[in-house]
């Protein structure tokens, strides 16, 4: 590219961004609408945000989603990390290919199938559907994402770090908690965040596996929209977008800073 | 043979039959699947010795070191340390420490914490740890870097942290896996002497694995040359260089000229050899050969004298033509093509600034050497 802004370039950029962000911008704008009619602008107001916090149904759903997200992400992170360690470390056990295939299959499995099969299972074993089953279902399908993230870090992990720790007198368990875990922690945290996000916006699997009293936020929003979009929903979505955006921005700034600091340190070290 | 001593003149426990071996590999074999990394190897290392395992990559030297550290168990045979059989003892309970080729510094800990790691595992009281860490930092001259993380250090500094960490526990034996491999040439030379000083100062037994012959020659009391899972020769650097016992060792360390031939005549002290291409060579130290045996006569380039006329008193003198001359400043290397076709490499120290007998391309030349200048090899 020669760096000039041709008319064609500008047009395609504008159109591209409009395509991606116009719907979201509209949603945010109309969440501040005075009017009850979603598509007619009636002046600026924050009243829908106030009424949102008085909407017991939405608040309950938010609370359920948060709890399901935290619990399922945490359990999925533990299980996914263990799976990743097994897959990278024990490369020669029988049935490894089958095992890794089974861990990663849910990545490409259509959610409808995951949801339906879990529903059938819960019905078959006579498990009452509710908070417990939806959490279990989320653990199942987010675990493999964690495994992928952690495994990619473990592949580049220098095994001699562990050997050095053992050589200096640390037994294997201590070595894992004092050396391996801190070094791969960033990947584990990313895995957790990914699992949490996936759980947060899952509608399909939750619809199959949830029961009365355990309606998640996406389910609630979806069912309300079917009765007609209210500005309240717009407000709820705007808050969700804000939370996610702030999280992403903080993470990338922290990452960038660490990278810059690291480069500066390394240059300083080279100079001696 | 007149004298092939070690550099530390008073230190030669391997010549003392009453000396107690410290590390003993007893018929050790290690297989990885079908591949034999170490094959029926026996080796003895003494206390306070600086021992180097030298060999090309894949010769089994690192496997030997890892078995001593406890990361691998021998398939057969025993390893004894100070009389104790090490079989079944995990790495974290062995009184040996290792310095890794990659240094393996813990990236999330400061220099101080890295060095203290092993001491903490031992359950040493905090004030003692602090004292020992300070002592170690002083030893490797890194006092002002205590609070830095490994990525804030240069390569040479990282190497010294790794060293300090591995000697902090005062192990019985320190294992070093290519300790200078990641450093540039100048730093490597400095560090060689630092390592030697450190070993003397701490009175530890060092076992170092290296593929760099110069490094092994400089630092070690004795060198074990390895090839394909076997030890070819164990001897002092001088013996390895001046009295190799096989073609492999002669070739592996330094430059060498080899004359294939047969034993033509055996006298009381001297043996006459007829080269495969007709050259007649008289040698003094070929006592264990028989007449008619196929042998190889090996001689180092600097033991050969090159002159434009036949030296009057020379026992061994062969005529040829200068094929190549390389002037290296401190010395000159000649490649002489003998009249029988054999190529000979000879090097001469440029002790005088002006040569009285300059030789150049295509000049006629004589190469001569004393009867005790080379060795006769039977394998």
The answer to whether residue B196 is domain-embedded is: yes
In this structure, the answer to whether residues B245 and B354 fall within a common structural domain is no
Domain limits at B359? 255-377
Give the model confidence (pLDDT) of A94-141 as tens digits.
Answer: 777 888 888 788 888 888 999 999 999 999 998 888 899 999 999 998
In chain B, what residues touch A170 (CB-CB under 8 Å)?
A: 92, 117, 121
- Please report the pLDDT score of residue B284 as a whole number: 84
Give A214 to chain B, closest Cα distance, Å: 42
Which residues fall within 8 angstroms of residue A15, CB to CB, at 6 or more apart?
A: none
Segment B263-292 shows an average pLDDT of: 80
The answer to whether residue B136 is domain-embedded is: no
In this structure, the answer to whether residues B191 and B233 fall within a common structural domain is yes
For chain B, percent of residues with pLDDT exceeding 70: 97
- Residue B313 buriedness (CB in 10 A; 0-12 / 13-18 / 19+): exposed
Give the model confidence (pLDDT) of A185-216 as tens digits.
Answer: 988 988 898 899 889 888 999 999 988 888 89
Segment A141-157 shows an average pLDDT of: 89
pLDDT exceeds 50 at position A33: yes
In this structure, the answer to whether residues B285 and B340 fall within a common structural domain is yes
The answer to whether residue B368 is domain-embedded is: yes
In this structure, the answer to whether residues B309 and B325 fall within a common structural domain is yes
**Contact call for A168 and B71, based on CB within 8 A:** no
Which uninterrupted H or E stretch holds B257?
strand B257-266
Structure tokens at B123: 């359950």
Give A90 to chain B, closest Cα distance, Å: 16
Segment B339-361 shows an average pLDDT of: 86
In this structure, the answer to whether residues B76 and B189 fall within a common structural domain is yes
- Please report the pLDDT score of residue B5 as a whole number: 45
In chain B, what residues touch A168 (CB-CB under 8 Å)?
A: 92, 97, 117-118, 121, 165-166, 169
> Could you give the CA distance from residue A204 to residue A116 in angstroms, rounded to a whole number?
9
- Please report the pLDDT score of residue B7 as a whole number: 55
Which residues fall within 8 angstroms of residue A67, CB to CB, at 6 or more apart?
A: A131
- Please report the pLDDT score of residue B1 as a whole number: 37
> Could you give the CA distance from residue B16 to residue A26 in angstroms, rounded to a whole number?
92
In this structure, the answer to whether residues B295 and B361 fall within a common structural domain is yes
Give the model confidence (pLDDT) of B169-184 as tens digits.
Answer: 999 899 999 998 878 8
Give A205 to chain B, closest Cα distance, Å: 39
pLDDT exceeds 60 at position B106: yes
Query: Of B250, B278, B298, which residue sits at a domain end?
Result: B250
Query: Of B201, B232, B250, which residue sits at a domain end?
Result: B250
Stretch among A80-84, B13-17, B119-123, B153-157 having the lowest mean pLDDT: B13-17
> Residue B74: which CATH number?
3.40.50.300
For chain A, the distance separating the N- and C-terminal CA atoms, rounded to the nearest angstrom, is 40
What's the whole-number average pLDDT of chain A?
A: 86
Q: Is B110 on the interface with A (CB under 8 A)?
A: no
**Contact call for A167 and B69, based on CB within 8 A:** yes
The answer to whether residue B272 is domain-embedded is: yes
Stretch among A35-44, A153-162, B224-233, B245-254 having the lowest mean pLDDT: A35-44
In this structure, the answer to whether residues B239 and B184 fall within a common structural domain is yes
- Please report the pLDDT score of residue B264 as a whole number: 86
A77 confidence band (pLDDT: 50, 70, 90): very high
β-partners of residue B366 are B307, B319
- Please report the pLDDT score of residue A91 as a whole number: 74
What's the whole-number average pLDDT of chain B?
A: 89
**Contact call for B122 and A164, based on CB within 8 A:** no
Give the model confidence (pLDDT) of A202-254 as tens digits.
Answer: 899 999 998 888 889 889 888 888 887 778 888 888 888 888 788 788 878 87
**Contact call for A265 and B118, based on CB within 8 A:** no
**Contact call for A179 and B106, based on CB within 8 A:** yes
Segment B68-79 shows an average pLDDT of: 94
User: Looking at this predicted complex, what is its ipTM?
Assistant: 0.83
In this structure, the answer to whether residues B32 and B83 fall within a common structural domain is yes
pLDDT exceeds 70 at position A18: yes
User: Regarding predicted confidence, which is higher, A168 or B189?
Assistant: A168
pLDDT exceeds 50 at position B49: yes
In this structure, the answer to whether residues B283 and B351 fall within a common structural domain is yes
> Residue B282: which CATH number?
2.40.50.140
**Contact call for B92 and A270, based on CB within 8 A:** no
In this structure, the answer to whether residues B195 and B324 fall within a common structural domain is no
In chain A, what residues touch B151 (CB-CB under 8 Å)?
A: 262, 265-266, 269
Q: Is B146 on the interface with A (CB under 8 A)?
A: no
Q: What is the pTM of this model?
A: 0.80
**Contact call for B106 and A160, based on CB within 8 A:** no
- Please report the pLDDT score of residue B236 as a whole number: 93
The total domain count for chain B is 2
In this structure, the answer to whether residues B270 and B343 fall within a common structural domain is yes
Q: What domains can you pick out in chain A, each with its CATH number?
A: 28-242 (1.10.3720.10)
Give the model confidence (pLDDT) of B2-17 as tens digits.
Answer: 455 445 667 888 888 8
- Please report the pLDDT score of residue A264 as a whole number: 79
In this structure, the answer to whether residues B264 and B359 fall within a common structural domain is yes
Give the model confidence (pLDDT) of A54-75 as tens digits.
Answer: 888 888 888 899 999 999 999 9
- Complete DSSP assignment for chain A: ------HHHHHHHHHHHHHHHHHHHHHHHHHTBSSSSTTS---B--HHHHHHHH-HHHHHHHHHHHHHHHHHHHHHHHHHHHHHHHHHH-TTSTTHHHHHHHHHHHHHS-HHHHHHHHHHHHHHTTPPPSHHHHHHHHHHHHHHHHHHHHHHHHHT--HHHHHHHHHTT--HHHHIIIIIHHHHHHHHHHHHHHHHHHHHT--HHHHHH--TT---HHHHHHHHHHT---HHHHHHHHHHHHHHHHHHHHHHHHHHHHHHHHHHHHHHHHH-
Query: Of B213, B231, B250, which residue sits at a domain end?
Result: B250
Query: Which of A168, A179, A262 is the closest to B169 by Cβ?
Result: A168
pLDDT exceeds 70 at position A2: no
For chain B, percent of residues with pLDDT exceeding 90: 58
> Could you give the CA distance from residue A218 to residue A58 in angstroms, rounded to a whole number?
10
The answer to whether residue B2 is domain-embedded is: no
Which residues fall within 8 angstroms of residue A218, CB to CB, at 6 or more apart?
A: A65, A200, A201, A202, A203, A206
């Amino acid at each position: 590219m020669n760096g000039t802004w041709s008319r064609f370039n500008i047009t395609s950029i504008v159109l591209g961004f409009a395509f991606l962000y116009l719907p979201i911008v509209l949603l945010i704008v109309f969440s501040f609408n005075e009017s009850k009619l979603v598509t007619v602008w009636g002046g600026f107001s924050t009243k829908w945000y106030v009424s949102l916090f008085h909407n017991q149904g939405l608040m309950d759903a938010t609370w359920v989603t948060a709890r399901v997200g935290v619990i399922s992400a945490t359990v999925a992170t533990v299980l996914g990390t263990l799976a990743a360690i097994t897959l990278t470390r024990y490369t020669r056990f029988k049935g490894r290919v089958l095992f890794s295939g089974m861990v990663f299959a849910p990545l490409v499995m259509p959610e409808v199938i995951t949801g339906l099969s879990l529903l059938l299972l819960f019905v078959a074993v006579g498990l009452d559907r509710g908070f417990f089953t939806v959490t279990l279902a989320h653990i199942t399908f987010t675990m493999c994402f964690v495994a992928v993230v952690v495994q990619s870090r473990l592949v580049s992990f220098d095994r001699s770090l562990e050997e050095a720790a053992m050589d200096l007198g640390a037994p294997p368990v201590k070595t894992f908690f004092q050396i391996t875990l801190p070094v791969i922690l960033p990947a584990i945290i990313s895995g957790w965040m990914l699992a949490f996000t996936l759980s947060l916006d899952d509608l399909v699997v939750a619809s199959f596996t949830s029961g009365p009293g355990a309606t998640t936020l996406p389910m609630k929003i979806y069912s309300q929209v079917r009765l007609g979009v209210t500005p309240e929903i717009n407000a709820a979505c705007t808050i969700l977008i804000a939370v996610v955006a702030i999280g992403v921005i903080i993470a990338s700034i922290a990452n960038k800073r660490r990278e810059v600091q690291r480069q500066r340190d390394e240059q300083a070290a080279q100079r001696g | 043979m007149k004298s092939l001593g070690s550099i530390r003149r008073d230190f030669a426990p391997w010549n003392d039959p009453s000396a107690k071996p410290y590390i003993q590999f007893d018929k050790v074999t290690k297989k990885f699947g079908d591949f034999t990394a170490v094959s029926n190897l026996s080796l003895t290392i003494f206390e306070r010795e600086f021992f180097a395992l030298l060999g090309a990559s894949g010769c089994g030297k690192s496997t030997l070191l890892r078995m001593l550290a406890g990361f691998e168990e021998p398939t057969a045979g025993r390893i004894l340390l100070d009389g104790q059989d090490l079989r079944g003892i995990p790495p974290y309970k062995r009184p040996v420490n290792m310095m890794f080729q990659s240094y393996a510094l813990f990236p999330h800990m400061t220099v101080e914490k890295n060095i203290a790691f092993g001491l903490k595992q031992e359950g040493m009281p905090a004030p003692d740890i602090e004292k020992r860490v300070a002592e170690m930092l002083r030893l490797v001259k890194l006092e002002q870097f205590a609070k830095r993380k490994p990525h804030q250090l240069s390569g040479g500094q990282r190497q010294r942290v790794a060293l300090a960490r591995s000697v902090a526990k005062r192990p019985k034996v320190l294992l070093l896996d290519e300790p200078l491999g990641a450093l540039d040439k100048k730093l490597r030379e400095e560090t060689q002497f630092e390592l030697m000083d450190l070993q003397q100062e701490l009175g530890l037994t060092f076992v170092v694995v290296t593929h760099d012959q110069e490094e092994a020659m400089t630092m070690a009391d004795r060198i074990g040359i390895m090839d394909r899972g076997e030890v070819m020769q164990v001897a002092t650097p001088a013996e390895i260089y001046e009295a190799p016992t096989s073609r492999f060792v002669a070739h592996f360390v330094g430059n060498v000229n080899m004359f294939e031939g047969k034993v033509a005549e055996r006298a009381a002290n001297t043996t006459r050899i007829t080269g495969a291409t007709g050259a007649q060579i008289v040698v003094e130290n070929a006592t264990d050969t028989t007449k008619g045996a196929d042998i190889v006569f090996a001689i180092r380039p600097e033991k050969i004298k090159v002159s434009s006329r036949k030296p009057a008193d020379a026992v061994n003198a062969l005529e040829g033509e200068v094929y190549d001359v390389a002037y290296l400043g401190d010395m000159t290397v000649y490649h002489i093509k003998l009249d029988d076709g054999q190529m000979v490499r000879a090097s001469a120290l440029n002790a005088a600034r002006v040569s009285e007998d300059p030789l150049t391309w295509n000049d006629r030349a004589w190469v001569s050497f004393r009867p005790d200048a080379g060795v006769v090899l039977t394998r």
